[in-house]
Amino acid sequence: MFIVFEGVDGCGKSTHAKLLTQWLRKRGKNVFYTAEPTNGEVGVLIRKILSGKITADPKTLALLFTADRAQHVLEIEKHLRKGHIVVSDRYYHSTVAYQAAQGIDRNWLLKLNNFAPNADIVLYLDVSAKDAEMRARSGEIFEKKEFLAKVRREYMKFKRLDIVDATEEKKTVQDKIREIVSDALDKR
């Protein structure tokens, strides 16, 4: 099973992805927890751009995120073949939503990411752009509410998202996530 967490900056997906991973492990599941951008060479370069140390135009950034993902997919597939549950903090939906919000053609982004296998569950942690801006404080380039509102609109164009209201209390949000994942596991 392949589970992805998505959402705008500051939505709390990293916290919830980690909590879900702990919970699944306690239930005896073998879980590979991972995130994009990765810690690989391309991921490190991306972090430099996100911090504003160096600049890259949106198309270059889209290609870098996707190159990072190409490497990442190999690792994800290795774990899926072993029967592990994979939990990823961000996946190709991030490239489609963020780089489309930067003005890149959405269909081009979707086609570029065609190689990436679909996840079984895409949990979208929903917060307003205003809340997101207040909560996101890492100093990265995308943490502005006008931009995050565009990103959110791009995310909403995806059909198969499990949307979770992430403005609720942490426990309520996590319980909802566990319910969605439990149901999916039971159906297997």
Q: Which of 94, 131, 150, 164 binds ligand TYD (CB under 6 A)?
A: 94
Q: Rounded CA gap, 86 and 2, in Å?
A: 5
- If the CB atoms of residues 9 and 120 are measured against ligand TYD, the closer one turns out to be 9
Contact 91, 119 (CB under 8 A): yes
Least Cα distance to 117 among 155, 51, 162, 72 occurs for 72
Residue count at the site for ligand TYD (CB under 6 A)? 14
Side-chain-facing half-sphere of 140: CA atoms under 13 Å: 17
Q: Where are the alpha helices (DSSP H) in 6-139?
A: 13-26, 41-50, 58-81, 92-94, 100-101, 106-112, 129-135
Closest separation in Å from C-beta 188 to ligand TYD: 27
Q: Which residues, 95 to 134, sit near ligand TYD by CB under 6 A? A: 95, 98-99
| Residue 36 interacts with ligand TYD (CB under 6 A): yes or no | yes
Q: Which of 3, 6, 24, 65 binds ligand TYD (CB under 6 A)?
A: 65
Residues in the chain: 188
- If the CB atoms of residues 40 and 185 are measured against ligand TYD, the closer one turns out to be 40
User: Which spans of this chain sit near ligand TYD (rule: CB under 6 A)?
Assistant: 9, 14, 36-37, 50, 65, 90, 94-95, 98-99, 138, 140, 142
